[in-house]
Amino acid sequence: MNDPWHDLRRFTQARIAQGRAGASLPTSALLDFQLAHAAARDAVQQPWEVDGFAESLKSSGLAAICLQTQVAGRAQYLQRPDKGRRLDVASRQYLAARSWPETDVALIMSNGLSSTAINTHGLAVLAALGEALRLKSLGFGPVCLVPNARVALADEIGALLNARLALMIIGERPGLSAADSLGAYLTYAPKSGNTDAERNCLSNIRPPEGLSYQTAAVKLAYLCGEALRLGYSGVALKDDMPAGLLD
């Protein structure tokens, strides 16, 4: 007898119609699950080699600033989310001591909960995003590279950089079907005290299974432009982008 669930497997990465061996899973399905679990743990635990990433970024023509949060290590990053939302003293003093010209977008990148995502997709996403922002005539300064950051850190950095909008690209929490997904969060008028309701999120940037770099970049540039035109972001900002823009 054919199981109709098997026909649905081609439409999803979810673990459906795995089959069985007696009362358990087949060996192949069990090994695949264990491999995915190990990849997810590695994505969370491995550090981000930010200095090497910064050199690669500079080679592609984008300036970079390496900053630090108040987090002491990956274990503390998981245990103390509050420390990932604040710059350490040296980083804050470095940004505060300079007079940054007003710019449209502050670009921030962090490994977040998946260093695998940043190492796999980070450079390509920034290259596509930089081009999309230029085509929209949106200015942006150096890319701030911050290991062990939380999304809300974009408020502090954006305010210090004198930016009208903050855009953070960050490694998302890995699941058992995706250990390399990037998310992007944009916030108009970044400042301390902003809530998550004032942010827009674009998730699952990870070709070929998720959003392509180009699609994500065009979508983010459109949302940035609309946020700056309308003067707000978050739940009030809707994605009304014409489908033709993706062409």
Domains of the chain, by residue range, sit at: 44-239
How many C-alpha atoms does 138 have within 13 Å on its Cβ side?
28
Q: To which residue do tokens 């977040």 refer? A: 112
Query: Computed from CA positions of residues 237, 243, 244, 247, in that sequence, does the dihedral angle turn out positive or negative?
Result: positive
The one-letter amino acid code at 161 reads: L
For residue 39, the model assigns a pLDDT of: 85
For residue 241, the model assigns a pLDDT of: 86
- The span from the CA of 169 to the CA of 60, in Å, is 18
For residue 113, the model assigns a pLDDT of: 95
For residue 2, the model assigns a pLDDT of: 67
For the chain, residues with pLDDT lower than 70 are 1-3, 247
The CATH code belonging to domain 44-239 is 3.40.50.11240
For residue 233, the model assigns a pLDDT of: 97
Look at residues 121, 119, 116, 140 and name the one whose alpha carbon lies nearest to residue 62: 140
**8 Å CB contact between 224 and 105:** yes
Q: Show Cβ contacts of residue 99 under 8 Å, excluding neighbours closer than 6 positions.
A: none
The one-letter amino acid code at 238 reads: K
Summarize pLDDT for 74-108 with one digit per residue, the tens.
999 999 999 999 999 999 999 999 999 999 999 99
Look at residues 131, 159, 154, 122 and name the one whose alpha carbon lies nearest to residue 221: 131
